[in-house]
Copies of this chain bind each other. A is one copy, B any other.
Amino acid sequence: MSNTLGKHIALTLFGESHGPQIGAVLDGMPCGIEVDEKSIAAALTRRRPSGRGETARVEQDNFRLISGVFEGYTTGEPICILIENSNVRSGDYDRTHLLARPSHADYVSHVVHKGYEDWRGGGHFSGRLTAPIVALGAICGKALEKIGVGVATHILSCGTVSDQSFDGVDYGKLDSQIHLILESNFPVLSDIQAQIEAQIEAARLNQDSIGGVIQTAVSHLPAGLGEPWFDSLDGTLANAILSIGGIKGIEFGLGFDFKSATGSSCNDEFYASPEGVRTYSNNSGGINGGYSNGMPVIFNCAVKPTPSIAREQRTIDMATGENATIKIIGRHDPAIIRRICPVVTAMTEIVICDMLKGAFSNSIFEKK
């Protein structure tokens, strides 16, 4: 179903950018998970515009858990979260809503919804809808933390600046890297925040926007999480993450660099360790045959430049079907790459919880 994701733990998303509230329902979470409103707020803060070169619409993200949580713990029933839409300036959009913004969803939304769509601020397609995903991801993150599984996402490259990669073979090092990202207000492993911000600011001054690549790691997954053939671990992650606006590609392990690899250079040979079966290298990104193999799961996502730019662009007027030009006035990020990291982390946390429950039932979350 189009707005529901997951088989054992299901996320249902609703709301529009300029409606009274947006929200989501997370159904199937095991009971007895401690719900910490501070960690939800912290995750929402990581997603919020910083004010530094990013969209001037600052959402307060006041949220309310209206079901599924009782006396500080999940009950096992559906968790509904509502987030207020404040600071809405619909006026920015009024003049242009029948001009399809290039590389946005306006045109396809108009085709599908035949003019009935709530077009204000991108409506249901707005990046604003990622806020409830991030909030519910934080609850899943707590459930995962309890059983030792960590998830984090950092900027691997933005414009011409590159970060180092997550360590795919040494859990000790990876744990430190994940911890660093989760504590930081700018998701990079190296000291490159200033360089990235400079690139973004340069794009903004140039009435332009830039893209990049982000990288996600999942630590300490048990081997055997996945499904044969369909609904594999990689396929399920890809389906979830490609639903995030702006993500146009996903690769696991070596990914597209396999094109210049050979079997002898890139096969991940096994060895026995005190912690269990391990591989010397991790070009597979922790996944074989659609299942986790016990090594860190590591994948990269391509992020396109924000399509909303201040320059005049050619387009069509959807009311008349004729050619037109558009100059987008609203408040927009020249790069979403920082803010998209916690969204991909949240989606990953939700998918991993869903698949763990599918494979092992709620009982896996009761482990110490």
List A103-121 residues whose CB lies under 8 Å from chain B.
103-105, 107-109, 111-114, 116-118
The answer to whether A77 touches B224 (Cβ under 8 A) is no
Q: Which of A80, A257, A263, A323 has the most CB of B within 10 A?
A: A263
Q: Which of A11-19, A136-144, A167-175 contacts B (4 or more CB under 8 A)?
A: A11-19
Inside 8 A of A49's CB, which chain B residues have their CB?
Answer: none
List A225-283 residues whose CB lies under 8 Å from chain B.
226-232, 234-236, 238-243, 245, 248-264, 266-272, 277, 279-280, 283
Shortest beta-carbon distance from A237 to chain B in Å: 9
List A178-224 residues whose CB lies under 8 Å from chain B.
203, 206-213, 223-224
The answer to whether A116 touches B2 (Cβ under 8 A) is no
A22 to B25, CA, bound (A): 12
Q: Which of A53-61, A87-95, A146-154, A357-365 contacts B (4 or more CB under 8 A)?
A: A357-365
Inside 8 A of A250's CB, which chain B residues have their CB?
Answer: 238, 249-251
* Number of copies of this kind of chain in the complex: 4
The answer to whether B73 touches A304 (Cβ under 8 A) is no
The answer to whether A288 touches B258 (Cβ under 8 A) is no
The answer to whether A117 touches B238 (Cβ under 8 A) is no
Partner of A211, one of B207, B261, B304: B261
The answer to whether B235 touches A242 (Cβ under 8 A) is yes
A314 to B262, CA, bound (A): 16
Q: Which of A36-44, A123-131, A338-346 contacts B (4 or more CB under 8 A)?
A: A123-131
Q: Mark A71-97, 1 if CB is under 8 A from B, else 0.
A: 001111111101000000000000000
The answer to whether A78 touches B14 (Cβ under 8 A) is yes
Nearest B residue to A64 via CB reads B20
Q: Is A327 an interface residue (CB 8 A)?
A: no
Q: Which of A113, A207, A229, A306 has the most CB of B within 10 A?
A: A229
The answer to whether B314 touches A67 (Cβ under 8 A) is no
Partner of A70, one of B6, B118, B231, B323: B118
> Beyond A77-B118, A289-B125, A307-B267, is A203–B255 a contact (Cβ under 8 Å)?
no
Top 6 A-B pairs, shortest CB-CB distance:
A105-B289, A249-B251, A2-B227, A209-B263, A361-B361, A108-B291
Chain A positions within 8 Å of B, measured between CB atoms, are 1-8, 10-16, 19-23, 25, 27-28, 31-32, 64, 66-68, 70, 73-80, 82, 100, 102-105, 107-109, 111-114, 116-118, 123-125, 129, 157-160, 203, 206-213, 223-224, 226-232, 234-236, 238-243, 245, 248-264, 266-272, 277, 279-280, 283-285, 288-293, 300, 302-309, 311, 313-316, 321-323, 334, 358-361, 363
5 A-B pairs besides A3-B227, A107-B223 with CB distance below 8 A are A16-B75, A261-B304, A269-B313, A270-B314, A272-B322
